[in-house]
Structure 1
Amino acid sequence: MLSFKRRITFIALLWVVVLFGPIALTAQTVQKQATSVITGRITSGDKGMANVTVVLYPAEISLNRTAIARGTTDGQGNYRLTGVPAGRFTLSVAAPEMVGPNDTPFGELGKPVTVAEGETIDKMDFSLVRGGVITGRVTDADANPVIDLHIQLHRTDSQGAGMASYTNPFMYQTDDRGVYRIYGISPGRYTVSAGDAGVDGSVRVGFGGQGYYTRTFYPDVTDESRATAVDVLEGSEATHIDITLGRKAKSFTATGHIIDDSGQPVANIRIGYGTVMQENRMGGYGVGSASDAKGKFRLDGLLPGRYAAFAWSNGTSDSYSDAVQFQIADGDISGLELKLHRGSSISGVAVIEGTNDRNVLAQISQLILYAATRPQQGGVSPPNSSRVKLAPDGSFTINGLRPGKVSFHLSGFPQPQGFFVARVEQNGMQQQEIEVAQGAQVTDVRVVIQYGNGSIRGLVKVLGDVWPDGIHMSVNARSLVSDGTRMPFQSVPVDQRGHFLIEGLPAGEYEVIVSAYAGTITPGKPPEHRFAPVREKVSVSNGVEAEVTLTFDPNAKLPEVRRNE
């Protein structure tokens, strides 16, 4: 099934692209020869699964993933992927009705694999089980089918956690009969619901003003505590999980106008909005209509709750607005007034350090510099970021900044490998953030971009050669530089053979740290079982692959955490 992790990751990716934009930069790296081979077997029980597609993807999370290699199992379930380059990858299995290991960034059916040049990796096997099915029908208060409504599954236990399937996201929608059928579900207990929560505000992209159904759980209750959980077993099918919704509730509209500092209406400004949560934090952003010639705008499809509206920026505008809060109770709201202010600006130059390679230095014109203003205490702050593509000489001017403290990063998704903002200077003095006043034009800012193409290839050996059941292991490299330079943080998974690879590191001294846990992770709670970390110091040079071997003791005691009295 489409795990909660995967759905949230996908939605987050969409917003990252909207906020930060894509980037086409490819760091200067040595071309890797595609000479490696991966083999394995796909089984269900003791039988091989024929005609199953196996796909190798880059490990980096991206909306535009392209397969590196692809193969199909033979009659005995064996597969062989050839022409594989060195690097980190996700090995994914396309078997929609099956469930299996879930150890990937997208929460899909797959596992990480680290490949060295020219090696053959055997026994990358998958043991799958047939997932369960939940099917039913959704009708309204008049017994009419509710069409194209999203069904939600919520897991209520930890059984089968860490399992996933190759998912068809459209099976979560009801058809023209109001019928849904969700397959490939991991064994466990689930509540089934349909409709919107209808409280604390809700951003419903694309729903317009057509109203909404109050979230209703099987069997026809709106109180989640009274919902009946559905037991899903391997290969089982739970039928007649029907839900009858109440009558469609009305959604509401907020209208207003936007003016500039002189009180004149401003046209063609896209209006954004978001829910206002505890401590005045905003979340669940949506985008409404653009303002018309008279500065008027309209936000449709709002559920009861607390919101804030603001002028939406794609990161290149020279203006901004403050957020205006409003409450939707049981009716439309009008008279909202947004004021568009001319933003402050920061100008300066960016330079690349860590290399004299002209090809690398020339890539500065492909980098996009992103400036974010830290939200002010107490107020509601909408997304506030501006970005600019650096000139060939590294010069830049960023406009549209609101007052506050500004920090800099390189924009793009995924992040450009090997490049990162190491430090920022103003008038020759290093700054953690740049203070920007209302309407200020800040100059003489120097952004130092560090480049590195060093890497650490490692092996984790388990004491006794017996890997604990259900273990999840990752490795990160922490820079030992203590001069205030910001260094990149990378955490990569360890594959089933104990191999890992960390790339794009600048030269220097690092501490490699192995972290591991077993069991499930519940939001807001620590893992069910944590293991003692393993640490090792490594020297990294540009253009060189450092090697390290670490020994993991699953019986080692966790270090005591000292707390200040």
Structure 2
Amino acid sequence: MRIRLLTAAALLGTAAPIAGQENQVEPPKTGSVAGVVIDEKSGDRVAKAVIILRRDEQRTVPSGNVSGGRNLYSTGSLFPRTCTEVPGEIGEITGADGKFTLRDVDPGTYLLAVERDGYVIARGQTQTVKVQAGQTTSDVKVKLLRTGAISGRILDADGDPISGVNVVLSAVRARKSARSGTGYATTNDRGEYRVFHIAPGEYRVSATYTPRGRHDGVRMQRPVRADATSGREAYPTVYYPGSMATSHAAVVTVEAGAELAGIDLQLVRAHGVRVRGRITAPSGSSPAPLFQMVALVPIGQRDPPGQTYDFLIRDPNGEFEFTDVLPGTYRLQVEAGGFNELNRMSARRTLEVGDSDLEGIQLTSGQPRSLSGRVIAPEGRKLPPGLIVVLGSREAGDTQGGGMAQVGADGAFTISQVAPGEYDVVVASTTGGENDAYIHAIRMGDTDALVEGVHVGEGQVSPLDIVLRPNGGAAECTVKDDKGEPVPGANIRSRRTRRDSGRPLYSANAGHELMGRARS
């Protein structure tokens, strides 16, 4: 019996803590965020709102071709619409009381994004939330506003309802949010349309109709009639209440939760012309491939942009024809080969379309090229961080460039998949900060690319040498609209007034900062 008691005592002694020792509690490694979502106008709690915490980190600038890029954020959404989990993002849906609590959040700074059908974030501003380990960031209040809608009918030039008309709603003032400030709708068989999920604000309404879309690939014959415009049915963009100029368009104010009906428009029939030509293959190569897509893209300062004309080449001669083309400045471009880089062919040129047909246009397609080079820092200095080199179009108002690339610490860069064409070189910084360097010279072999630009065509492309010099000047400006209100996100360009009058040398937008400029 004594042995059993000793054994039991020994077991108890093993399990008991040693005097002077206590269980150590590990400190918490995460925090939490709690708050409520309300309707700013009524003060009511908003249920079923999706709350997302996203890391507030700067994204790097990708190298490669940037033309035709796709926005990662869909209209009305403040976070990517993807089907996969994004590392560092946590979400929750508010209950009937509009409250939310996000737990087990790693310490750091986050952007608080919200999405709810029929609502937008008030004033388009996202919130920044700082999370600390072991603490709850409480009393976070997110204010939403109800969205509105605009509806109406579109009639053709004869007063009949017409289907397939694109109606565009453009914000008078850009908003600092993921929303683009633009809404779209297409008319039904009764000529009716409805644009919904509209953030409160001021807008212009326009209608654009493309009748040729119904007869894609069909070469329509012109009827024999006496009038000069027969068989040339073209419709320019019309702005509410009935103008073809943006400056004369009425401003429609959408209040929170408003339903505006009766915003009707009637199209205007205009004189269009024919643009016809042929796409040829590079010299010494096989015939031009079939199924090339040729497009006429309007360029210039248009809001919204004018009509784009498309044509799919189906014959080995490479012939194309656009009908009912309205006067204006266009970029004629061709793409072939799809995603197969070995077979990809492209080309572009600028066309001025007037009141007469354009015949016999020839455009030679070629394979995209890689453009390499280096940025040379001022003597005794290092290159500032975050530099990018951008190939921009030499045509004013043409926003499709040739590509962009980050500059390495050694000054080297490579822009891949550059389509044949004429470009200007722009150097910008993505990090900001003080820097007085400016572009002194850009050499491309024996070419002064600062003045003459960059030509990409057949054959090898010579590397670029971009030379920076110190003690450049600085230009500060504020962009305002016709009512004196600041315009966020505007693109800024400075033009030379001497050697190369009219050529853009410096450029910036909301995401980039200009390099310094030469003093003059």
The equivalent of 1:193 in structure 2 is: 206
Q: Give 1:292 deviation, angstroms.
A: 4.8
- 3-state SS of 2:444 partner: strand
1:134 paired to 2:150? yes
Q: CA RMSD in A?
A: 6.1
Aligned pair partner of 1:527 in 483, 486, 491: 486
In the superposition, relative to structure 1, how do residues 191 and 92 fare at CA in structure 2: closer, same or farther (>3 Å)?
A: same
In the superposition, relative to structure 1, how do residues 177 and 117 fare at CA in structure 2: closer, same or farther (>3 Å)?
A: farther
Contact 2:444-2:464 within 8 A present in 1 as well: no
Aligned pair partner of 2:138 in 105, 118, 122: 122
Separation (CA, whole Å) in 2 of partners of 1:270 and 1:336: 16
Contact 2:442-2:464 within 8 A present in 1 as well: no
Aligned pair partner of 2:47 in 35, 42, 50: 50
- 3-state SS of 1:48 partner: coil
1:78 paired to 2:96? no
Contact 1:348-1:444 within 8 A present in 2 as well: yes
The equivalent of 1:327 in structure 2 is: 353
Q: Give 1:304 deviation, angstroms.
A: 2.4
1:244 paired to 2:257? no
Separation (CA, whole Å) in 2 of partners of 1:220 and 1:381: 28
The equivalent of 2:329 in structure 1 is: 306
In the superposition, relative to structure 1, how do residues 98 and 248 fare at CA in structure 2: closer, same or farther (>3 Å)?
A: farther
Separation (CA, whole Å) in 1 of partners of 2:293 and 2:195: 37
In the superposition, relative to structure 1, how do residues 173 and 155 fare at CA in structure 2: closer, same or farther (>3 Å)?
A: same
The equivalent of 2:193 in structure 1 is: 180
What is the number of residues matched between the two proteins?
A: 382
Letter in 1 for 2:44: K
Contact 1:323-1:382 within 8 A present in 2 as well: no
Separation (CA, whole Å) in 2 of partners of 1:34 and 1:290: 62
Contact 2:171-2:181 within 8 A present in 1 as well: no
In the superposition, relative to structure 1, how do residues 122 and 260 fare at CA in structure 2: closer, same or farther (>3 Å)?
A: same
Letter in 2 for 1:126: V
Separation (CA, whole Å) in 2 of partners of 1:150 and 1:312: 25
The equivalent of 2:128 in structure 1 is: 113
In the superposition, relative to structure 1, how do residues 36 and 300 fare at CA in structure 2: closer, same or farther (>3 Å)?
A: farther
* Cα deviations by residue, 1:312-365 (Å, 9 ceiling, x for unpaired): 5899679875725342436x5331012457888767999xxxxxxxxxxxxxxx
Contact 1:370-1:386 within 8 A present in 2 as well: yes
Letter in 1 for 2:257: G
Letter in 1 for 2:319: K
The equivalent of 1:37 in structure 2 is: 32
The equivalent of 2:163 in structure 1 is: 147
The equivalent of 2:444 in structure 1 is: 435
Separation (CA, whole Å) in 2 of partners of 1:89 and 1:194: 40
Letter in 2 for 1:180: Y
1:384 paired to 2:405? no
Letter in 1 for 2:255: L
Contact 1:310-1:382 within 8 A present in 2 as well: no
Separation (CA, whole Å) in 2 of partners of 1:80 and 1:301: 58
1:63 paired to 2:72? yes
In the superposition, relative to structure 1, how do residues 174 and 271 fare at CA in structure 2: closer, same or farther (>3 Å)?
A: closer
Larger mean Cα displacement after TM superposition, 254-263 or 337-346 = 337-346
Query: % of aligned pairs identical?
Result: 20
Q: Give 1:150 deviation, angstroms.
A: 2.7
Aligned pair partner of 1:267 in 275, 283, 289: 289
Contact 1:320-1:343 within 8 A present in 2 as well: yes
Separation (CA, whole Å) in 2 of partners of 1:132 and 1:395: 47
- 3-state SS of 1:123 partner: strand
Contact 2:46-2:96 within 8 A present in 1 as well: yes
In the superposition, relative to structure 1, how do residues 272 and 51 fare at CA in structure 2: closer, same or farther (>3 Å)?
A: closer
- 3-state SS of 1:335 partner: strand
Q: Give 1:53 deviation, angstroms.
A: 2.5
Separation (CA, whole Å) in 2 of partners of 1:175 and 1:483: 59
Q: Give 1:63 deviation, angstroms.
A: 1.5
Contact 1:193-1:215 within 8 A present in 2 as well: yes
Kindly indicate which of the two structures has a greater share of residues assigned to strand.
Answer: 1
Q: Give 1:42 deviation, angstroms.
A: 1.3
Letter in 2 for 1:239: A
Contact 1:57-1:90 within 8 A present in 2 as well: yes
In the superposition, relative to structure 1, how do residues 184 and 338 fare at CA in structure 2: closer, same or farther (>3 Å)?
A: closer
Separation (CA, whole Å) in 1 of partners of 2:242 and 2:413: 61
Separation (CA, whole Å) in 1 of partners of 2:322 and 2:118: 40
Aligned pair partner of 2:316 in 281, 293, 298: 293
The equivalent of 2:115 in structure 1 is: 94
Contact 1:139-1:146 within 8 A present in 2 as well: yes
Contact 1:306-1:325 within 8 A present in 2 as well: yes
Letter in 1 for 2:206: S
* Cα deviations by residue, 1:425-479 (Å, 9 ceiling, x for unpaired): xxxxx997551468775789999xxxxxxxxxxxxxxxxxxxxxxxxxxxxxxxx
Letter in 1 for 2:258: S
The equivalent of 2:363 in structure 1 is: 338
Contact 1:347-1:395 within 8 A present in 2 as well: yes
The equivalent of 1:214 in structure 2 is: 236
In the superposition, relative to structure 1, how do residues 521 and 122 fare at CA in structure 2: closer, same or farther (>3 Å)?
A: farther
Q: Give 1:111 deviation, angstroms.
A: 0.6
- Runs (5+) with no aligned partner, structure 1: 1-32, 104-109, 199-203, 351-368, 418-422, 424-429, 448-481, 485-514, 530-563
Q: Give 1:76 deviation, angstroms.
A: 1.7
Contact 2:208-2:307 within 8 A present in 1 as well: no
- Runs (5+) with no aligned partner, structure 2: 1-27, 60-70, 74-79, 219-232, 376-386, 432-436, 448-454, 471-475, 489-518
- 3-state SS of 2:288 partner: coil
- 3-state SS of 1:41 partner: strand
Q: Give 1:40 deviation, angstroms.
A: 1.7
Q: Give 1:78 deviation, angstroms.
A: 0.8
The equivalent of 2:511 in structure 1 is: none
The equivalent of 1:553 in structure 2 is: none
TM-score, structure 1 as length reference: 0.49
Contact 2:279-2:318 within 8 A present in 1 as well: yes
Letter in 1 for 2:149: V
In the superposition, relative to structure 1, how do residues 371 and 152 fare at CA in structure 2: closer, same or farther (>3 Å)?
A: closer
